[in-house]
Amino acid sequence: MSIHFAQQGEQPATLVIEGGTLIDGNGGKPVQDALIVVREKKFEVVSRKDQAPYPTEAQILRADGKFLLPGLIDAHVHYSGFLAELLLTHGVTSVFDIGGRGPTHAVRREAIAQGRILGPGIFVAVESLLGPTKPGRVVYTRERGRQDRPLTLEEARESVRRAVAGGADLINIRRGLTQEVFQAAVAEAHRAGLPVVAQPIGPSVYGREAILAGADILEHASGINISIAKDPSKWNGWGEIELHSLDPRPFADMDEGKAAELIELMVERNTYLEPDLIAQGRGLHRQRNEWELQDYELLHKPDLAYIPEGTRHKWMSNYTEFGEWEPAEREQLKQGFQNMQRFIGQFARAGGKVMGGTDTSAGGWAVAGIGLHREMELLAEAGLTPMETIMAATRNPAEGYRVLDRVGTIEAGKLANLMILNADPLQDIRNVQKIELVIKDGKLIDRSYHRWFTDSFEGAGVEAPEWVEALKRATLEGIRAVAGLTDPTWAFGQPCPGIESISPIMVTEGGPTLTVTIKGVNFTKKSVVYFGGRPIPAQLVSETELEVTIGARSIAQAGIFPIAVKNPGPHLSQPQWGNTSNRAYLAVSLRQ
């Protein structure tokens, strides 16, 4: 039986879903013959058929024989605008971007919430706290630039306060902090009422230490493997690179007694695990061949041609990453992944709460959207019941990230995010993929792909900081780009400019004419600044600073707009650098 709108394509202010079996995300007994009333963006009534009145002017959607489920939540993404259709088509109506993308990323969050652009609801980290994992390691951070020492107590607290002021929904703490600093950052986040998602892979803080410090969520189930290893000293240096958080080999050394003790502590402290099994076992899953073929066919759809080529390559190369490993290392990897799944199952049976996440991104570890369905399959393989698996991708992320009052279940007063399925997910978790309709914020989602799809809020901050660093070194040292030349780098013609920062980085739409300060390298009297592809007036302050004037009409509407600097020729002695800078982005936020 097909589902039918009274007038196909309408987006009514009030919608009634009548009939079907409701699985509301709370874990209770399913409700037969459900009745759901959606008004504007929210659930107004959640009841049984014929047990509650509904408005006569409402559009009726009959769902007899179908199954109603909350919209899915991906607990771990690094969001880019081109992921929107992939996520929504597969029923993912909310995501948690835990990467620390700066305050400009909050602009897209508001644009989606107001319906200005298409996308799942997003909850964002504004910045990540991290330090070097060992002395001398170079670390680049958005606010502080280059450093090779751990954060101090006050720096950590200030980073949290800065994120809160920038509109963060959560605080992300990564590797390299001391135990004292880690605990101070958690305490500061909790004072602001925000959850902490952590990647504790050393060298001082691993899973157990993060749990005791009050971390709410462990992304990748990070640090657990070292905390339950039979011989932790065997893994000295583990965590010195980020990729170790997605390498399950230490789980092969799991001590069952330590595992049971740690699970008891986690349940007692209400610590959530977000394991990213789809990422941890990439290419090792028993469904590998099936999934690889599905991804290949999906990514070659003409209407998804807008997905960057680099992203396609990365998503497909995840299946072959471990193919060239030595047999012994590969076997250890497989054993570690199997033990990790077993640990997740033991944790769930003990009452622990698991979140479904994928770590999808433009260069990530799973194809957006379908990846979360596969994560649910892997959680079921680990031992979670179908209901527990559904909660891992609906209620648990909302609860752990402290937004259960808004999303995660089908209850009156919450955002109307739900899926209508053609088969019972409690019989087979793969039935969650049998989607008939997706509703997000009370509106029916067009589940087809569109080759013209774009997101005007894509981009934030300053591109290619490493390139700018190299340009600065070249400027200071001088380049002999043409054989035999002994002149300084810029002896002939104009130098190539580079942008290091702009200020402000975010303004509100409809504001007055704006002055923006651009700092960088190789600015000259001839430098031309382009805003949104058009030249704008610029004033040279020094070789490292420009001031530009942006007219009120240019920032009358919200968006993220590129800024670039071009030095007109000639460019005789340095053709390899060109004449145009990297790009920075000014975020124009929505007026409330």
> What is the share, in percent, of the chain residues with pLDDT greater than 70?
89
Instruction: Name residue, tokens 């739900």.
Output: 418
Strand order through the sheet with 498-503: 498-503, 514-521, 545-550, 538-542
Instruction: Please state whether the peptide bond connecting residue 250 to the residue before it is cis, i.e. omega within 30 degrees of 0.
Output: no
What is the rounded distance in angstroms from the CA atom of residue 23 to the CA atom of residue 271?
A: 25
Instruction: Characterize the bridge pairing of strands 435-440 and 443-444.
Output: antiparallel
Contact 246, 272 (CB under 8 A): no
Please give the pLDDT value at position 459: 57
Within a domain: 546: yes
Residue 103 in this model has a pLDDT that exceeds 80: no
Within a domain: 236: no
Which helix (H) or strand (E) element contains residue 293?
helix 288-299
What is the rounded distance in angstroms from the CA atom of residue 489 to the CA atom of residue 522?
A: 11
What is the rounded distance in angstroms from the CA atom of residue 20 to the CA atom of residue 49?
A: 9
Cα R_g (the chain), whole angstroms: 26
In this predicted model, what pLDDT tens digit does every residue of 282-302 receive, in sequence order?
999 999 999 999 999 999 999
With 0-12 / 13-18 / 19 or more C-beta atoms within 10 angstroms meaning exposed / middle / buried, residue 373 is buried
**What is the sign, positive or negative, of the torsion defined by CA atoms of 276, 411, 435, 5?**
negative
In this predicted model, what pLDDT tens digit does every residue of 451-508 receive, in sequence order?
988 876 665 567 766 678 778 877 776 543 433 344 444 445 678 899 988 888 888 8
Count: domains in the chain: 1
Question: If you ran DSSP here, which 8-state letter would residue 360 be given?
Answer: B
The phi and psi torsions of 221 (rounded to 5 degrees) equal 55, 35
Question: If you ran DSSP here, which 8-state letter would residue 79 be given?
Answer: -
Contact 399, 354 (CB under 8 A): no
Within a domain: 508: yes
What is the rounded distance in angstroms from the CA atom of residue 98 to the CA atom of residue 102?
A: 11
With 0-12 / 13-18 / 19 or more C-beta atoms within 10 angstroms meaning exposed / middle / buried, residue 290 is exposed
Instruction: Characterize the bridge pairing of strands 545-550 and 538-542.
Output: antiparallel
What is the rounded distance in angstroms from the CA atom of residue 250 to the CA atom of residue 234?
A: 9
Residues sharing a CB contact under 8 Å with residue 55, sequence separation 6 or more, in sequence order: 14, 16, 37, 39
CB atoms inside a 10 Å sphere around CB 250: 25
Task: Domain of residue 474: give its range.
Answer: 461-589
In this predicted model, what pLDDT tens digit does every residue of 417-461 receive, in sequence order?
999 999 999 999 999 999 999 999 999 999 999 998 887 666 556
Please give the pLDDT value at position 13: 81
Instruction: Please state whether the peptide bond connecting residue 55 to the residue before it is cis, i.e. omega within 30 degrees of 0.
Output: no
Instruction: Please state whether the peptide bond connecting residue 386 to the residue before it is cis, i.e. omega within 30 degrees of 0.
Output: no
Residue 240 in this model has a pLDDT that exceeds 50: yes
Within a domain: 416: no
Within a domain: 518: yes
Within a domain: 255: no
Residue 10 in this model has a pLDDT that exceeds 80: no
In this predicted model, what pLDDT tens digit does every residue of 189-206 receive, in sequence order?
999 999 999 999 999 999
Please give the pLDDT value at position 102: 65
Question: If you ran DSSP here, which 8-state letter would residue 580 be given?
Answer: B
Within a domain: 545: yes
Q: Mind giving me the DSSP string for 362-401? A: TT-SS-TTHHHHHHHHHHHHHT--HHHHHHHTTHHHHHHT
What is the rounded distance in angstroms from the CA atom of residue 122 to the CA atom of residue 39?
A: 22
Instruction: Name residue, tokens 């944790």.
Output: 347
Instruction: Name residue, tokens 């923006």.
Output: 516
Residues sharing a CB contact under 8 Å with residue 578, sequence separation 6 or more, in sequence order: 496, 571
Please give the pLDDT value at position 213: 97
Residue count of the chain: 592
Q: Mind giving me the DSSP string for 63-80? A: -TT-EEEEPEEEEEE---
- Reference 38, options 446, 448, 437; nearest CA is 437
Which helix (H) or strand (E) element contains residue 421?
strand 418-421
Lowest mean pLDDT among 16-30, 157-171, 246-260: 157-171
Instruction: Name residue, tokens 């003990």.
Output: 350
CATH number at residue 488: 2.60.40.10
Please give the pLDDT value at position 259: 98
- Reference 503, options 457, 462, 555, 458; nearest CA is 462
Contact 459, 532 (CB under 8 A): no
Within a domain: 112: no
What is the chain's mean pLDDT, rounded? 88
Most confident segment among 11-15, 149-153, 416-420, 477-481: 416-420
Contact 220, 280 (CB under 8 A): yes
Instruction: Characterize the bridge pairing of strands 59-62 and 14-18.
Output: parallel
Per DSSP (E only), the strands in 83-120 are: 92-97
